[in-house]
Copies of this chain bind each other. A is one copy, B any other.
Amino acid sequence: MPNPWTTIGTRLIYQNPWLSLREDQVIRPDGKQGVYSVVEMLPSVGVVAIDANGDVALVEQWRYAHGKNSIEIPTGGSEKEDPDIQSAARRELAEETGISARQWRSLGSIDNSNGATTDVANMFLATDLTVGPPRQGGDESLRFFWLPFPQVVEMALDGRITESVTIAAVLKAELLRRMGQVVI
């Protein structure tokens, strides 16, 4: 299908280091004039890091926007300095957990809140791990721990895990494992 929207103008509403908001003046698919506001973010990453025992690296952190703790795989935004998206994943994993991995496999990407944001999360399966000291930033307060992969799948199914990138990456990895396409 061709793009049914026409953009006739745009203005920047807000910008901080993590996101910007722009409001476009548009002609909608029905031919009427309207506005479409877009929250722009750099691509993000999420990493399912699994050690030789089959345990997954998880972080629990307070999610300010939701006002609750959330158990997640290491996730984060890319930075302009990251040479590519897998480098961003390596950096985030090292920052949040101290882990470095020798084996990387893409689990594809997901579009979050795609009616309103440009957030694309790139997911990876990382294995063959070495654990060093984490380097958490001042705006992060994380608890890092390990759980067996089957238990993490259970938590993604029963609601103990609710973060979208974690759910997509863990369930993808589990189905690929059942189909014999990855070994965990």
Chain A residues within CB distance 8 Å of chain B: 1-5, 13-14, 16, 18-19, 21, 23-24, 26, 28-30, 32, 34-39, 41, 60-67, 69-70, 75-77, 108-121, 138-141, 143, 153, 156-159, 162-165, 167-168, 171-172, 174-176, 178
Contact = CB atoms under 8 A, between A and B. Distances in A.
Given A62-B5, A65-B116, A171-B171, A111 B38 contact: no
B18 A66 contact: no
Contact of A69 (B1, B121, B138): B1
B28 A139 contact: yes
B171 A114 contact: no
B13 A37 contact: no
Most-contacted residue by chain B among A76, A112, A158, A175 (CB, 10 A): A112
A153 B1 CA distance: 23
Given A112-B113, A167-B171, 18 more contacts: A5-B62, A5-B64, A19-B116, A30-B138, A30-B139, A36-B65, A38-B65, A63-B111, A63-B115, A66-B114, A66-B120, A110-B164, A113-B117, A113-B119, A157-B176, A168-B168, A171-B171, A171-B175
Contacts of A18: 37, 115-116
Contacts of A138: 28-30, 32
21 contacts: A4-B141, A19-B39, A19-B116, A29-B139, A36-B65, A39-B117, A65-B114, A65-B115, A65-B118, A66-B118, A75-B115, A108-B162, A113-B117, A113-B119, A114-B164, A116-B117, A120-B162, A157-B176, A167-B168, A167-B172, A168-B171
